[in-house]
Amino acid sequence: MGGMAPPFDLADLPTGVAMSLSSLVARVLAPNPSPFTFTGTQTYVVGAGDVAVIDPGPEEAEHLAALMAAIAGRPVVAIVCTHTHRDHSPAARPLSAMTGAPVIGCAPLTLDDDGPRADAAFDAAYRPDRVLADGERLMGEGWTLEAVATPGHTSNHLCFALVEEQALFTGDHVMGWSTSVISPPDGDMADYMRSMQRLLEREDMVYYPAHGEPIDTPQRLVRGMMGHRKQREGQILRFLERNGDSIIPDMVAEMYKGVDPRLHPAAGRSVLAHLIDLDQRGIVRAADGLWQMR
Ligand SMILES: [Zn+2]
């Protein structure tokens, strides 16, 4: 799952065909549009000779057939996952069986002793052949992918830099259509903001997100998204100052007026992520299920 956004036109979505975006990058749209995935998950095929496949997507026969057509018999060096939400990683296993390629990339989600961090949105069956640490590289003919650790949307999220093109595959960390949902306990707002800051300090020329169009002014978008989170945080604090002890649904009803009500539960998760961050910074606290200023 990715973010939240306005409705879009389902007509003419080019599922099933590879669209070339650069000499090394092609994109295949999966047939899983929803209020959370926008037009659907975008799988990237990287390389002009042998290839890597980034975010193979949901396990759907139609999408797997489209990926095999895009691979067109070329050797697959690796099937790479940015994180393990169910719209990103489940096709890794059948694609690995069909191509013989290893599954490489993000870690499986680690479960804490203090309760399950995963929910139904996670692909619990994900088993990578190799986990990449921050800065580790994968190489093929004429391409290099470098892992960039970007926890926040999920604790195991990685972006992947395509060194030869100064491009960054951003998964769900930065998307082309919406801000990411940060859903605690696995989603973490403080981590997310640190990971955004990290991207600001890089010199990528283009982002290829898992949902939405390529982003050719990446630093400007990241700055804008960080500003948006700071505004949201300010709204929460003003709400608590005005209303005293409060519950999240009341905050969402006011702050997300005009947003599709089906998205309000997800908005509530992002508000909770802000509140946990504010609590950790000593600004708010929870008492008997109510949130209040300290
Ligand atoms: Zn996701």
Q: Kindly give the confidence (pLDDT) of every residue in the chain, 294 residues in length, as a single tens digit, with 9 standing for 90 and above.
A: 555 544 445 445 678 889 999 999 999 999 998 877 888 999 999 999 999 999 999 999 999 999 999 999 999 999 999 999 999 999 999 999 999 999 999 999 865 544 445 566 889 899 999 999 999 999 999 999 999 999 999 999 999 999 999 999 999 999 988 888 899 989 999 999 999 999 999 999 999 999 999 999 999 999 999 999 999 999 999 999 999 999 999 999 999 999 888 889 889 999 999 999 999 999 999 998 899 999
Same CATH fold assignment for domains 10-227 and 228-293: no
Q: How far is the CA of 241 from the centre of ligand 1 (A)?
A: 33
Q: How many residues does the chain have?
A: 294
270 CA distance to ligand 1 centroid (A)?
13
| Cα(85) to centroid(ligand 1), Å | 5
- In the chain, where the domains are located: 10-227, 228-293
Q: 3.30.1490.190, 1.20.1740.10, 1.10.340.30, 1.10.10.10: which CATH number matches 228-293?
A: 1.10.10.10
CATH 3.60.15.10 fits 10-227, yes or no: yes
Strand 158-162 and strand 167-171: pairing?
antiparallel
What separation in Å is there between the alpha carbon of 1 and the centre of ligand 1? 4
Instruction: Calculate how far, in angstroms, residue 126's C-alpha sits from the geometric centre of ligand 1.
Output: 14
Closest by CA position to 157, among listed 115, 188, 203: 188
CA of 294 to the centre of ligand 1 (A): 33
